[in-house]
Chains A and B, each alone.
Chain A
Amino acid sequence: MSHIQFRDLSVSYRRPKSDERFLAIDRISLDIERGSFVAVVGSSGCGKSTLLLAAAGLVSLASGRVVIDAAPVTGPGGHAAMVFQDASLLPWRSVLGNVRFGLEMRRWKRDDLTERALRHIRMVGLGDFADYHPHQLSGGMRQRVNIARALAVDPEVLLMDEPFGALDAQTREVMGNELLRIWERDRKTALFVTHDIEEAVFLADKVVVMGRDPGRIKDVVQVDLPRPRSPDMLDSETFVTIRRRLRESLAEDMASLRLVTEGV
Chain B
Amino acid sequence: MIAFYRRFEAVLVGTASLIAIAVAWQLAVDNGFIDPFFISTPLAVAREAMTQAADGTLFVNISATLHAFSLALALAAAVGIGLGVLAGWFRDVEAALDPFIWFKYSAPTIAFYPIFIAYLGYGLPTVVTVGFLFALTPIYANTLAGIRNVDRDLARTARAFGARPLDVFVRVALPGSVPLLVAGFRLGVGRALTGVVVAELFGSTAGLGYSITQHAQLMQTAPMMVSIVAIVLIGVALTQALGFVERKTDAWRVDAE
Q: Which residues of A contact B (CB under 8 A)?
A: 56, 58, 76-78, 81-82, 84, 86, 88, 90-92, 101-102, 104-107, 133-135, 149, 153
Contact = CB atoms under 8 A, between A and B. Distances in A.
A106 B252 CA distance: 26
B252 A84 contact: no
B136 to A, nearest CB: 27
Interface string B33-70: 00000000000000000000000000000000000000
Interface string B158-184: 111111000100011001101000000
A81 B161 contact: yes
B45 to A, nearest CB: 46
Contact of A88 (B157, B171, B252): B157
B24 interface: no
Contacts of B154: 88, 90
- Residue from the set A56, A58, A78, A88 with the largest chain B CB neighbour count within 10 Å: A88
A91 B160 contact: no
Contacts of B256: 91, 134-135
Given A92-B175, A92-B178, A82 B252 contact: no
Contacts of A107: 162
B156 A58 contact: yes
A56 B176 CA distance: 25
A49 to B, nearest CB: 12
A151 to B, nearest CB: 12
A105 B161 CA distance: 6
Contacts of B151: 88
Contacts of B153: 84, 86, 88
A76 B161 CA distance: 7
B253 interface: yes
Contacts of A56: 160
Nearest to A146: B157
Name, among A84, A104, A105, A107, the residue most crowded by chain B CB atoms within 10 Å (CB to CB): A105
A142 B25 CA distance: 57
Contact of B158 (A86, A105, A134): A105
Interface string B214-255: 000000000000000000000000000000000000001101
A101 B156 contact: no
Contact of A77 (B158, B162, B171): B162
Nearest to A82: B160
Nearest to B257: A135
Kindly state the interface size class of chain B when it binds its partner.
20 to 34
Contacts of A134: 252, 256
A78 B160 CA distance: 9
12 contacts: A58-B160, A76-B159, A76-B161, A88-B157, A90-B175, A91-B252, A91-B253, A92-B176, A92-B178, A102-B161, A105-B163, A106-B161
A133 B252 contact: yes
A106 B164 CA distance: 10
Contacts of B157: 82, 84, 88
B220 to A, nearest CB: 52
Given A81-B161, A88-B154, A153-B161, A105 B167 contact: yes
Given A58-B156, A88-B156, A133-B252, A101 B175 contact: no
A56 B156 CA distance: 11
A106 B162 contact: yes
Nearest to A79: B162
A104 B162 CA distance: 9
B162 A76 contact: yes
Contacts of A77: 162
Contacts of A90: 154, 171-172, 175-176
Contacts of B161: 76, 81-82, 101-102, 105-106, 149, 153
Nearest to A153: B161
Contacts of A135: 252, 255-257
Nearest to A77: B162
Contact of A101 (B171, B178, B255): B171
B38 to A, nearest CB: 52
